[in-house]
């Protein structure tokens, strides 16, 4: 029986994107189950369906023959144990430790960037990005940290991805790449080249294509746009 990955809307759900693009890129077998991100309603189908799994009420959730694993880091570690030769993590011990460090930092950090620049793949928000960049020192600091961290990893590995081949580290930062592009935040040429390589990776490109086909407007995830047809 194939693994099942429970996710939210591809346009908005950055945490769902991480294991999905990793599994797609590494050709790990799985079935997708998408739940609409209507969790802002107390009686939402999203809440009801996740409650059946015994999960934490958030996506993503990986289900393996009825066994549920939630939280993106836990899912990635489970995939590594389930498919040890697939390349979820780098092979060398130190590179593997560094990749885990980068993922943990993404998991717990970059709060200003994630708060002010929510993932919205179909949106082009350069004017919003310029305003955020001017007003939010925390966002500027987050981008500086990203650029330094990525440059160090790429210099050490030789690229094209953070640890040579595409791994969990690149999957974890794929939604960040979407933010940098969508909000047109100022980044160096080297950073932009890495962002484009991630964007063009087959697993990431597949997610983007499907996100652009959703056309599912969720008001709570649209702080910077008005619903089409409402005027303004």
Domains of the chain: 3-86 (3.40.30.10), 93-210 (1.20.1050.10)
User: How crowded is residue 186: how many other Cβ atoms within 10 Å of its Cβ?
Assistant: 12
Tokens, residue 155: 């210099």
Q: Looking at residue 1, what is its pLDDT?
A: 61
- The conformation of residue 227, written as its DSSP 8-state character, comes to P
If pLDDT is split at 50, 70 and 90, which confidence band does 42 have?
Answer: low
Residue 230 pLDDT exceeds 70: no
Residue 232 pLDDT exceeds 60: no
Average pLDDT over residues 148-153: 98
Q: Looking at residue 47, what is its pLDDT?
A: 79
Residue 66 pLDDT exceeds 70: yes
- The conformation of residue 164, written as its DSSP 8-state character, comes to B
Reduce the DSSP state of residue 31 to 3 states and report it.
strand
Residue 229 pLDDT exceeds 60: yes
Determine contact, residues 95/157, Cβ cutoff 8 Å.
yes
What whole-number distance in Å separates Cα of residue 77 and Cα of residue 214? 29
Containing 4, the helix (H) or strand (E) segment is strand 3-7
Q: Looking at residue 228, what is its pLDDT?
A: 80
If pLDDT is split at 50, 70 and 90, which confidence band does 12 have?
Answer: very high
Helices 137-157 and 189-200 sit at what angle, rounded to 10 degrees? Answer: 70
Provide the percentage of residues in the chain whose pLDDT is more than 70: 97
What whole-number distance in Å separates Cα of residue 211 and Cα of residue 121? 7
Q: Looking at residue 51, what is its pLDDT?
A: 79
- The conformation of residue 226, written as its DSSP 8-state character, comes to P
Task: Dihedral sign for Cα 222, 130, 203, 214, please.
Answer: positive
Region of 54 (left: φ > 0; alpha: ψ -120 to 50; beta: rest) is left
pTM of the model: 0.94
- Tens-digit pLDDT profile for residues 177-216: 999 999 999 999 999 999 999 999 999 999 999 999 999 9
Sequence-separated (6 or more) residues with CB below 8 Å from residue 171:
17, 18, 19, 21, 22, 25, 76, 203
Q: In what order do the strands lie in the sheet with 67-70?
A: 30-34, 3-7, 61-64, 67-70
Q: Looking at residue 28, what is its pLDDT?
A: 97
Sequence-separated (6 or more) residues with CB below 8 Å from residue 140:
133
For residue 37, which of 14, 18, 53 has the smallest C-alpha distance? Answer: 14
What whole-number distance in Å separates Cα of residue 136 and Cα of residue 158? 33
If pLDDT is split at 50, 70 and 90, which confidence band does 44 have?
Answer: confident
Residue 48 pLDDT exceeds 90: no
Helices 202-212 and 189-200 sit at what angle, rounded to 10 degrees? Answer: 80
If pLDDT is split at 50, 70 and 90, which confidence band does 63 have?
Answer: very high
């Amino acid at each position: 029986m194939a693994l099942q990955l429970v996710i939210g809307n591809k346009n908005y759900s950055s945490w769902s994107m991480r294991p999905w693009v990793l599994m797609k890129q590494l050709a790990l077998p799985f079935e997708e189950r998408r739940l609409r991100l209507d969790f802002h309603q107390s009686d939402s189908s999203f809440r009801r369906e996740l409650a059946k799994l015994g999960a934490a009420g958030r996506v993503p959730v990986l289900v393996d023959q009825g066994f549920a694993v939630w939280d993106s880091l836990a899912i990635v570690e489970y995939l590594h144990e389930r498919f040890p030769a697939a390349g979820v993590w780098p092979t060398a011990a130190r590179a593997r430790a560094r990749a885990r460090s980068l993922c943990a930092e993404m998991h717990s950090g970059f709060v200003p960037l994630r708060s002010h620049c929510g993932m919205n793949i179909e949106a082009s928000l350069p004017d919003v990005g310029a305003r955020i960049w001017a007003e939010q020192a925390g966002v500027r600091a987050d981008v500086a940290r990203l650029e330094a961290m990525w440059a160090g990893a790429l210099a050490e590995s030789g690229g094209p991805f953070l640890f040579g081949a595409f791994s969990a580290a690149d999957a974890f930062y794929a939604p960040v790449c979407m933010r940098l592009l969508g909000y047109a935040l100022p980044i160096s040429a080297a950073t932009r080249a890495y962002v484009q390589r991630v964007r063009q990776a087959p697993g990431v490109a597949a997610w983007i294509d499907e996100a652009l086909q959703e056309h599912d407007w969720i008001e709570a995830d649209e702080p910077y746009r008005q619903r089409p047809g409402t005027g303004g």
